A and B are shown apart, each in its own frame.
Chain A
Amino acid sequence: MKFFTDNVLSLLIFSPLAAAAVAAFIKREELLRWWTLAATTILAVFSLTLYWNFDPGTHLFQFKEQARWISIPAMNMNINYSLGVDGISLLLVLLTTLMMPLCVLASWRYIQARVKEFMICLLIMETAMIGVFCALDFILFFVFWEAMLIPMALLIGIWGGPRKIYAALKFFIYTMAGSVFLLVAIIALYTQRHTFYIPDLMGRPYSPAFQYWVFLAFFISFAIKVPMFPFHTWLPAAHVEAPTAGSVLLASVLLKMGAYGFLRFSLPITPEATRFFTPYVLGLSVVAIIYGGLTALAQSDLKKLVAYSSVAHMGFATLGIFALNQIGVEGALLVMINHGVTTGALFIVVGIIYERLHTRDLGLASGLGKAMPIFAAFAGVFALSSLAFPGTNSFIGEFLVMSGGFAVSKLMMVCVVPGVVLAAAYMLRMLQKVAYGGTRNPDHSQVKDLCGREILTLAPLLVFVFWIGLHPEPFTRVMQASVQHLLAQSTGEPGSGTAVALAMKSEGRGPKSETRNPKSEGNPKSEIRNQTVAPLPAPAPRGALAPTIELPGGQDHRVSHSDFGLRISFGFRPSDFGFRGTPATFVPLHNASSPR
Chain B
Amino acid sequence: MPTSTLTAFLPELVLLAGALALFMTTLGQSGARQARTVALFTSFAAILAAAACLGQKTTLFNHAYTVDLFSQVLKLIFACGFTLILLLSGDLQDIRADVKAEYYLFLTISVCGLTMLVSCVDIITLVVALEVSAFPLYLMVPMRCERAGRRSQMESAIKYMMFGIAANGIMFFGLSYLFGLTGTTSLPSLLPRLQPVIHSPAAIAGLAMTFCGLYYKLAVFPFHFWTPDVYQGASNETAGLIASLPKLGGVAVLVRFVSLASPDNPALVVMLTILAAGSMFYGNLIALMQKDFKRLLGFSSIAHAGYALIGFVALDEMGYSAALYYIVGYLLMVLACFVVICKVSRDGSNVAIEELAGLHRRAPLLAVTLAVGVFALAGVPPFVGFMGKLSLLTAALHKGHLALVIIAMVNAAIAIYYYLGVVREAWFRDPGDLPPIRLDWPTRALCILLIGGILALGVAPARFLDAISTSVAQMHAAPPAGAPALSSR
Given contacts A157-B427, A168-B428, A184-B393, contact A75 B409 (CB under 8 A): no
A183 in the interface, Cβ–Cβ < 8 Å? yes
Report whether B409 and A74 are in contact in the complex, using a CB–CB cutoff of 8 Å.
no
Report the bound CA distance from A168 to B428 in whole Å: 9
A420 in the interface, Cβ–Cβ < 8 Å? no
Interface-lining segment among A139-147, A347-355, A379-387, A580-588: A139-147
Residue of B nearest to A68 (CB): B462
Per-residue CB proximity of B451-489 to A under 8 Å, as 1/0?
A: 000000000111001100110110000000000000000
Report whether A75 and B381 are in contact in the complex, using a CB–CB cutoff of 8 Å.
no
Report whether A142 and B462 are in contact in the complex, using a CB–CB cutoff of 8 Å.
no
Interface-lining segment among B112-120, B171-179, B314-322: B314-322
Residue of B397, B398, B428 touching A164 (CB-CB under 8 A): B428
Report whether A180 and B466 are in contact in the complex, using a CB–CB cutoff of 8 Å.
no
Residue of A149, A157, A184, A187 touching B380 (CB-CB under 8 A): A149
Report whether B428 and A180 are in contact in the complex, using a CB–CB cutoff of 8 Å.
no
Across the interface, which residues of A come within 8 angstroms of B321, CB to CB?
A: 74-75
Across the interface, which residues of B come within 8 angstroms of A177, CB to CB?
A: 413, 416
Per-residue CB proximity of A131-166 to B under 8 Å, as 1/0?
A: 000000001001100110110001001100000110
Across the interface, which residues of B come within 8 angstroms of A300, CB to CB?
A: none
Residue of B387, B393, B465 touching A187 (CB-CB under 8 A): B393
- How many residues of A sit at the interface, in one of the four size bands? 35 or more
Across the interface, which residues of A come within 8 angstroms of B439, CB to CB?
A: none
Given contacts A154-B427, A176-B416, contact A139 B390 (CB under 8 A): yes
Residue of A143, A164, A180, A190 touching B409 (CB-CB under 8 A): A180
Q: How far is the CB of A125 from chain B (nearest CB, A)?
A: 15
Report the bound CA distance from A149 to B402 in whole Å: 27
Report whether A187 and B405 are in contact in the complex, using a CB–CB cutoff of 8 Å.
yes
Q: How far is the CB of B478 from chain A (nearest CB, A)?
A: 15
Q: How far is the CB of B216 from chain A (nearest CB, A)?
A: 28
Residue of A74, A149, A181 touching B466 (CB-CB under 8 A): A74
A70 in the interface, Cβ–Cβ < 8 Å? yes
Residue of A nearest to B473 (CB): A74
Report whether B382 and A75 are in contact in the complex, using a CB–CB cutoff of 8 Å.
no
Across the interface, which residues of A come within 8 angstroms of B398, CB to CB?
A: 76, 191
Residue of B nearest to A190 (CB): B394
Q: How far is the CB of B361 from chain A (nearest CB, A)?
A: 9
B41 in the interface, Cβ–Cβ < 8 Å? no
B386 in the interface, Cβ–Cβ < 8 Å? yes
A77 in the interface, Cβ–Cβ < 8 Å? yes
Across the interface, which residues of B come within 8 angstroms of A158, CB to CB?
A: 427-428
Report the bound CA distance from A147 to B420 in whole Å: 15
Given contacts A70-B460, A158-B427, contact A77 B394 (CB under 8 A): yes
Report whether A187 and B424 are in contact in the complex, using a CB–CB cutoff of 8 Å.
no
Q: How far is the CB of A396 from chain B (nearest CB, A)?
A: 37
Given contacts A142-B381, A187-B394, contact A71 B462 (CB under 8 A): yes
Report the bound CA distance from A157 to B425 in whole Å: 11
Across the interface, which residues of B come within 8 angstroms of A1, CB to CB?
A: none
Residue of A nearest to B464 (CB): A72
Given contacts A150-B380, A183-B409, contact A75 B469 (CB under 8 A): yes
Report whether A75 and B391 are in contact in the complex, using a CB–CB cutoff of 8 Å.
yes
Report whether A70 and B465 are in contact in the complex, using a CB–CB cutoff of 8 Å.
yes
Report whether B465 and A75 are in contact in the complex, using a CB–CB cutoff of 8 Å.
yes
Q: How far is the CB of B274 from chain A (nearest CB, A)?
A: 20
Residue of B nearest to A213 (CB): B402
Report the bound CA distance from A165 to B395 in whole Å: 37
Given contacts A176-B380, A180-B410, contact A150 B375 (CB under 8 A): yes
Across the interface, which residues of A come within 8 angstroms of B460, CB to CB?
A: 70
Across the interface, which residues of A come within 8 angstroms of B318, CB to CB?
A: 74-76
Q: How far is the CB of B69 from chain A (nearest CB, A)?
A: 12
Across the interface, which residues of A come within 8 angstroms of B390, CB to CB?
A: 139, 183, 187
B335 in the interface, Cβ–Cβ < 8 Å? no
Q: How far is the CB of B479 from chain A (nearest CB, A)?
A: 18
Q: How far is the CB of B476 from chain A (nearest CB, A)?
A: 11
Across the interface, which residues of B come within 8 angstroms of A181, CB to CB?
A: 409
- CB interface residues, B 98-156, toward A, < 8 Å: none
Per-residue CB proximity of B297-308 to A under 8 Å, as 1/0?
A: 000000000000
Report whether A187 and B420 are in contact in the complex, using a CB–CB cutoff of 8 Å.
no
Report the bound CA distance from A586 to B393 in whole Å: 37
Across the interface, which residues of B come within 8 angstroms of A75, CB to CB?
A: 317-318, 321-322, 391, 395, 465, 469
Report whether B322 and A169 are in contact in the complex, using a CB–CB cutoff of 8 Å.
no
Per-residue CB proximity of A60-82 to B under 8 Å, as 1/0?
A: 00000000011111111100000
Report whether A165 and B424 are in contact in the complex, using a CB–CB cutoff of 8 Å.
yes
A22 in the interface, Cβ–Cβ < 8 Å? no
Report the bound CA distance from A101 to B332 in whole Å: 38
Q: How far is the CB of A13 from chain B (nearest CB, A)?
A: 13
Residue of A nearest to B410 (CB): A180
- CB interface residues, B 421-465, toward A, < 8 Å: 424, 427-429, 460-462, 465
Most buried by A among B322, B420, B470, B473: B420
Q: How far is the CB of B414 from chain A (nearest CB, A)?
A: 9
Across the interface, which residues of B come within 8 angstroms of A298, CB to CB?
A: none
Residue of B406, B410, B413, B427 touching A176 (CB-CB under 8 A): B413
Across the interface, which residues of B come within 8 angstroms of A501, CB to CB?
A: none
Across the interface, which residues of B come within 8 angstroms of A71, CB to CB?
A: 462
- CB interface residues, A 167-222, toward B, < 8 Å: 168-169, 172-173, 176-177, 180-181, 183-184, 187-188, 190-191
B412 in the interface, Cβ–Cβ < 8 Å? yes
Report the bound CA distance from A177 to B378 in whole Å: 11
Across the interface, which residues of A come within 8 angstroms of B469, CB to CB?
A: 72, 74-75
Q: How far is the CB of A257 from chain B (nearest CB, A)?
A: 15
Across the interface, which residues of B come within 8 angstroms of A168, CB to CB?
A: 424, 428
Report whether A184 and B409 are in contact in the complex, using a CB–CB cutoff of 8 Å.
yes
Report the bound CA distance from A143 to B420 in whole Å: 19
Residue of B317, B381, B393, B428 touching A147 (CB-CB under 8 A): B381
Q: How far is the CB of A176 from chain B (nearest CB, A)?
A: 5
Report the bound CA distance from A146 to B462 in whole Å: 21
Report the bound CA distance from A524 to B34 in whole Å: 77
Across the interface, which residues of B come within 8 angstroms of A139, CB to CB?
A: 390
Residue of A nearest to B400 (CB): A191
Report the bound CA distance from A173 to B318 in whole Å: 31
Report whether B428 and A165 are in contact in the complex, using a CB–CB cutoff of 8 Å.
yes
Report the bound CA distance from A187 to B391 in whole Å: 9
Report the bound CA distance from A344 to B472 in whole Å: 53
Residue of B nearest to A160 (CB): B428
Report the bound CA distance from A149 to B383 in whole Å: 13
Report the bound CA distance from A165 to B424 in whole Å: 7
Across the interface, which residues of B come within 8 angstroms of A146, CB to CB?
A: 380-381, 386
Report whether B322 and A147 are in contact in the complex, using a CB–CB cutoff of 8 Å.
no
Report the bound CA distance from A69 to B417 in whole Å: 31
Report the bound CA distance from A149 to B390 in whole Å: 18
Report the bound CA distance from A107 to B87 in whole Å: 42
Q: How far is the CB of B87 from chain A (nearest CB, A)?
A: 25
Report the bound CA distance from A169 to B422 in whole Å: 11
Report whether B391 and A180 are in contact in the complex, using a CB–CB cutoff of 8 Å.
no
Across the interface, which residues of A come within 8 angstroms of B405, CB to CB?
A: 184, 187
Report the bound CA distance from A204 to B86 in whole Å: 53
Report the bound CA distance from A70 to B464 in whole Å: 10
- CB interface residues, A 314-348, toward B, < 8 Å: none
- Contacts A70-B462, A74-B317, A74-B470 given; 4 further ones with Cβ under 8 A? A75-B469, A143-B386, A157-B428, A187-B393
Q: Which 6 A-B pairs have the closest CB atoms?
A: A74-B469, A143-B381, A157-B428, A177-B413, A180-B409, A70-B462
13 pairs across A/B with beta carbons < 8 Å? A71-B462, A72-B462, A74-B470, A146-B381, A147-B381, A147-B382, A150-B380, A158-B427, A177-B416, A183-B389, A183-B393, A183-B409, A191-B397
Q: Which residues of B pack against A, CB within 8 Å? A: 317-318, 321-322, 371, 375, 378, 380-382, 386-387, 389-391, 393-395, 397-398, 402, 405-406, 409-410, 412-413, 416-417, 420, 424, 427-429, 460-462, 465-466, 469-470, 472-473
Q: Which residues of A pack against B, CB within 8 Å? A: 69-77, 139, 142-143, 146-147, 149-150, 154, 157-158, 164-165, 168-169, 172-173, 176-177, 180-181, 183-184, 187-188, 190-191
